[in-house]
Amino acid sequence: MEAQVDLLMRGTRFADEADYWGAEVPEGGELRSRMQAELRDKLRLGRPLRVYLGVDPTSTELHVGHFVPLQKLRRFQDQGHQVVFLVGDYTATIGDPSEQTSERKRLTHEHVLELAGSYTEQAYRILDPSRTEVRHNGDWLGKLSFADIIELASIFPMKQIVARRDFQRRMEQGESLRFHESLYALMQGYDAYMLKCDVQVGGYDQHFNMLAGRAIQEHFGDKPHVMLTNPLLIGTDGRKMSKSYGNVINVHDAPFDMYGKTMRMADAHIPAYLELASSLDADAIDTEVQQLQDGANPMEVKKRLAFDLVRQYHGEAAAGEAAETFQRVVQRQQAPDEVPEVIVPPHLLGTTWVDLCAGLELSPSKAEARRLMRQGGFYIEQTPVKDTEARAEVPPAGILVRLGKRRYYRLLPGA
Query: CATH second-level architecture of 255-331?
Result: Orthogonal Bundle (1.10)
CATH of domain 341-413: 3.10.290.10
pLDDT at 225: 96
Q: Rounded to the nearest 5 degrees, what angle is found at the Cα of 298, between the Cα atoms of 64 and 263?
A: 40
pLDDT at 19: 41
Question: Which of 64, 66, 104, 65 shows the shortest CA–CA distance to 87?
Answer: 66
Burial class (CB in 10 A: 0-12, 13-18, 19+), 406: middle
pLDDT at 253: 84
- How far is Cα 97 from Cα 236, in angstroms, rounded to an integer? 22
Every domain of the chain and the residues it spans: 2-230, 255-331, 341-413
Q: What count of Cα atoms within 13 Å lies in the side-chain half-sphere of residue 40?
A: 10
Helix (H, G, I), strand (E, B) or coil at 232: coil
Q: Are strands 341-344 and 407-413 parallel, antiparallel or unpaired?
A: parallel
Question: Which of 49, 97, 46 shows the shortest CA–CA distance to 200?
Answer: 49
Homologous superfamily of 2-230: HUPs (3.40.50.620)
Which residues make beta-bridge pairs with 61?
A: none
pTM higher than 0.85? no
pLDDT at 248: 84
- How far is Cα 205 from Cα 223, in angstroms, rounded to an integer? 23
How long is the chain? 415
Taking only the tens place, the pLDDT of each residue in 363-383 is 888 988 998 898 888 988 778
pLDDT at 20: 41
pLDDT in tens, the chain (415 residues): 788 888 888 778 776 544 443 444 444 467 888 899 999 999 999 899 999 999 888 777 788 888 888 888 998 999 999 999 999 998 888 766 565 544 556 778 788 878 777 888 888 888 999 999 999 999 999 999 999 999 999 988 887 777 777 777 777 777 777 777 878 889 999 999 999 999 999 988 788 889 899 999 999 999 999 999 888 788 877 777 877 677 888 888 888 888 888 888 888 889 988 988 888 888 888 899 999 999 888 889 999 999 999 998 899 999 999 898 888 766 666 666 677 888 999 889 889 999 999 999 898 889 889 988 988 889 887 788 888 998 888 888 788 888 887 788 889 888 6
Asked if 380 and 348 count as a contact pair (C-beta separation under 8 A), the reply is no
Q: Sheet containing 378-380: which strands, arranged edge to edge?
A: 341-344, 407-413, 399-403, 378-380, 383-384
pLDDT at 21: 39
Residues 6+ apart with CB under 8 A from 199: 39, 42, 49, 50, 51, 52, 76, 225, 226, 228
Q: How far is CA 113 from the centre of its chain?
A: 20
Q: Which amino acid is at 140?
A: W
- How far is Cα 311 from Cα 320, in angstroms, rounded to an integer? 8
C-alpha distances out from residue 282 to 11, 127, 169, 285, 289, Å: 10, 19, 38, 5, 11
Q: Which amino acid is at 99?
A: E
Q: What's the farthest any 2 CA atoms get from each other in the chain?
A: 78
Asked if 414 and 344 count as a contact pair (C-beta separation under 8 A), the reply is yes
Tell me the chain's radius of gyration from C-alpha atoms.
Answer: 25
Residues 6+ apart with CB under 8 A from 355: 348, 366, 392
Sign for the CA dihedral angle at 266, 267, 269, 272 comes to: positive
Taking only the tens place, the pLDDT of each residue in 118-143 is 888 888 888 999 999 999 999 999 99
pLDDT at 332: 61
Asked if 194 and 140 count as a contact pair (C-beta separation under 8 A), the reply is yes
pLDDT at 104: 58
DSSP 8-state class, residue 233 = P
Asked if 234 and 276 count as a contact pair (C-beta separation under 8 A), the reply is no
C-alpha distances out from residue 112 to 94, 115, 140, 280, Å: 11, 5, 16, 34
Asked if 85 and 252 count as a contact pair (C-beta separation under 8 A), the reply is no
Sign for the CA dihedral angle at 73, 75, 78, 80 comes to: negative
What is the signed CA dihedral for 392, 397, 398, 399, rounded to 10 degrees?
-80
